[in-house]
A and B are shown apart, each in its own frame.
Chain A
Amino acid sequence: MTNSIKERQVISVIVLNESSVLARITALFAGRGYNIESLTVAPIPDSDMSHITIATNGSTKVMEQITKQLHKLIAVYKVIEHEEMVEKEMILAKFPITEHLSDISALCLAYNGGIVNVGKDMIITMVADEPRRIYHFIEASKRYNPIEIVRSGVVAIER
């Protein structure tokens, strides 16, 4: 058994866009003791389905069970265990107006984003990048005293 190896896995779950479907998914994870690292959900354009992206982790055996248990739910159409994927996460970050606008702008540009709003008291920026780079952005932004950071959770698409 290879239960000890914990690996990160991103899965996409295509579900019927009906009431309580998200509750079914999250209840399954909670009830069977699976971990959710991040979760995003939105309707798929021009269809009655929704796309749920879940970043999770577990041994190969656990991952196999997660996939099979998801498949078993009546409202689940398809489960994709991503292997070759493009994966992105978005961040909104709020900085005090006292920080240097140009420094923050340059930082965000480096992470595929920019300043999206400047108000009386604060600057709001947006970046969208791979999860690893998002982590770097959070680290780098600390020197500009961020007031608040909101992460979107990952979305992924198979290549």
Chain B
Amino acid sequence: MQMSGAQMVCEAIIAEGVKTIFGYPGGAIMHVYDEIYKQTGFEHILNRHEQASVHAADGYARATGDVGVAMVTSGPGFTNAVTGLATAYMDSIPMVVISGQVPSSLIGTDGFQEIDAVGISRPCTKHNFLVRSLEELPRLMKEAFYIARSGRPGPVLIDIPKDITVDIGHFEYPKDVNIPTYKPTYKGNDKQIIKAVNAIKNAKKPLFYIGGGVVLSNASDLVRDIVKKTQIPAVETLMARGVLGASNPRLLGMLGMHGNYSSNMAMSETDLVISLGARFDDRVTGKLSEFAKYAEIIHVDIDASNIGKLVDVDYPIVGDITKVLEVMSPMLDEVDSDRYQEWRDILTRYNELHPQSFVDSDDVIKPQWAIERIGQLVGENAIITSDVGQHQMWAAQHFPFDRPRQWINSGGLGTMGFGFPAALGAKKAHPEKTVINITGDGSILMNVQELVTASEYKIPVINLILNNHFLGMVRQWQTFFYEERYSQTDLTFQPNWKALAESCGGIGYDVTTKEEFDEALKDAIAQDKVCFMNVIVNRFENVLPMVPSGGALFNMILPQEEEDTSKETK
């Protein structure tokens, strides 16, 4: 069929089954937008900043597991999208970003709104293309989606010069992809799997270390099944919250810098780490030489470059978690789960000694209370997105996540401003769910223009602003490590949140008491409008436990020691 390059882009998006895309038009991408105007195959959401478009597509992808799509123009449109690409890249999120480029004849001439998009995005995409001719456009669109979702997923940029969107040619969307240089490994090595199983059977203190790869591989049910069968304790990373479910008796909690006591102690004392789709991030390991010091390590990961990157691995298994666990699971049927009883008892005692806790107050709302309260009032019907900072850690620690993809946050890159647009994407994917962005008075302003988008398209997401009038996490570090010099973290000067939300067509709530909190949340859920819940919380609340940067996991600042420690560091 004869059609323009712009039409081919739309046809490819439709052929990939994408129902919603997010974007912002401009000169170089206008021909494609003209075709978007004419077609009915998918909906386009106009965000008010390109970064938000990419985060929204990212939130959509995280909520569904499908490829998210964003579209931007050349130059500043593209550079605004870079933070979104990097965010998705660090968390391995399948995404295709389509950017306009100046006409082929102008490339390299410093044309208006020209920037080397493939050059800039090379280190923050899984792959990228500059389309050179109309003939290769259908194939490259197909490859972009395939590369984004296969193997270790990631964002792919496809940069299309304007003249190619105008040119007319033959369109046939390829059925298959054949990239001779790209063959991801899905199946694990059987011999290695057998060795790993034997190590599990011989271990006394094994520990499942569950990472975001389990979510990406949709392997949660398999993992739950294996944990139940073996009764081996488990810890989750920030990206894996929800994999086992908060009520799972074998789940110790989250580990790492803000992990709970029993999780971090378990990692410090285990004799066998069973790592599933985790990558030993520095925020998880603390001081590497002390990390799992007494343990052998099984590492299952689809990306071979993750294995042995930071820690030496005894049982490397390259493959898709689902495929590997399908083989491994039956081999663990006859495992004697009693042999780990002593280990479980130790960890239970650790948990009783220092449970994940906070001191509640009747005078002021504690942020942890607010998060637990959402869990009680909304629970499993919620999808929680977050920005980056204290509120993110409190959400990860205190919300009772009970399924994967319920928790959407920027883990690897730590992008403030991610939560609100990601919530829009998640709500578009799951309109029946209550989508709540747990955010702070710092982060929310980084994509606050999305109030307009949410109002225009009637995407009723709740922004729960845990307002401590501080850039809280940086303030916490300043308290602990910089002798309370609060350099540029005091956010006392603030907008009128209620008026801000209302001016953009949303609803605002000012909340200072627990009663107001319950009322506002219930009202917000019942409304079909975007809202800001401005919740004034305890100003100097700290995220605890905390492993000071570069310290060993077992050296945690714990809640009751907080006062002493902060005095010591003065």
Give the A-B contact count at a CB cut-off of 8 A. 38
Residue-wise, chain A 65-82 has the 8 Å CB interface mask toward B (1 for contact) of 100110110111100000
Q: Are B304's CB and A23's CB within 8 A?
A: no
Complex: A20 Cα to B132 Cα, angstroms: 12
A74 CB to closest chain B CB, in angstroms?
Answer: 4
A153 CB to closest chain B CB, in angstroms?
Answer: 23
- With A23-B119, A31-B123 as known contacts, state yes or no: A15 contacts B181, CB within 8 Å: yes
Q: Are B179's CB and A71's CB within 8 A?
A: no
Is A61 an interface residue when CB atoms closer than 8 A count as contact?
yes
Complex: A1 Cα to B132 Cα, angstroms: 46
Is B493 an interface residue when CB atoms closer than 8 A count as contact?
no
Complex: A75 Cα to B119 Cα, angstroms: 15
Is B149 an interface residue when CB atoms closer than 8 A count as contact?
no
Q: Are B305's CB and A77's CB within 8 A?
A: no
The interface residues of chain A lying within 8 Å CB-to-CB of B132 are: 19
Cβ 8 A contact of A74, one of B123, B126, B304, B305 = B126
B320 CB to closest chain A CB, in angstroms?
Answer: 16
B93 CB to closest chain A CB, in angstroms?
Answer: 17
The interface residues of chain A lying within 8 Å CB-to-CB of B304 are: 68, 71-72
The interface residues of chain A lying within 8 Å CB-to-CB of B180 are: 16, 77
The interface residues of chain A lying within 8 Å CB-to-CB of B179 are: 74
The size bracket of the interface on B is 10 to 19
The interface residues of chain B lying within 8 Å CB-to-CB of A15 are: 181
The interface residues of chain B lying within 8 Å CB-to-CB of A65 are: 305, 309
Q: Are A77's CB and B181's CB within 8 A?
A: yes
Is B323 an interface residue when CB atoms closer than 8 A count as contact?
no
The interface residues of chain A lying within 8 Å CB-to-CB of B122 are: 20, 23-24, 27
A101 CB to closest chain B CB, in angstroms?
Answer: 46
Main secondary structure on A side of the interface with B: helix
Complex: A1 Cα to B313 Cα, angstroms: 11
Residue-wise, chain A 6-47 has the 8 Å CB interface mask toward B (1 for contact) of 000000000110011001100100010000000000000000
Is B37 an interface residue when CB atoms closer than 8 A count as contact?
no
Is A158 an interface residue when CB atoms closer than 8 A count as contact?
no
The interface residues of chain A lying within 8 Å CB-to-CB of B126 are: 74
The interface residues of chain A lying within 8 Å CB-to-CB of B305 are: 65, 68-69, 71-72
Closest residue on chain A to residue B118 by CB atoms: A20
Complex: A64 Cα to B313 Cα, angstroms: 13
Q: Are B181's CB and A76's CB within 8 A?
A: yes
The interface residues of chain B lying within 8 Å CB-to-CB of A24 are: 122
A66 CB to closest chain B CB, in angstroms?
Answer: 10
Is B227 an interface residue when CB atoms closer than 8 A count as contact?
no
Q: Are B308's CB and A64's CB within 8 A?
A: yes
Cβ 8 A contact of A16, one of B130, B181, B312 = B181
A69 CB to closest chain B CB, in angstroms?
Answer: 5
Complex: A69 Cα to B307 Cα, angstroms: 11
Cβ 8 A contact of A20, one of B123, B130, B308 = B130
The interface residues of chain B lying within 8 Å CB-to-CB of A76 are: 181
Q: In B288-311, which residues have CB < 8 Å from any A CB?
A: 303-305, 308-309
Interface centre among A31, A74, A76 (most CB of B within 10 A): A74
Q: Are B123's CB and A27's CB within 8 A?
A: yes
Query: What are the 8 tightest A-B residue pairs by CB atom distance, in nearest-first order?
Result: A68-B305, A77-B181, A74-B127, A74-B182, A31-B123, A68-B304, A27-B122, A69-B305
CB pairs A–B below 8 angstroms (13 shown)? A1-B312, A16-B181, A19-B130, A27-B122, A27-B123, A31-B123, A69-B305, A71-B304, A71-B305, A74-B179, A75-B181, A76-B181, A77-B181
User: Which residues of B are interface residues toward A (Cβ below 8 A)?
Assistant: 118-119, 122-123, 126-127, 130, 132, 147, 179-182, 303-305, 308-309, 312
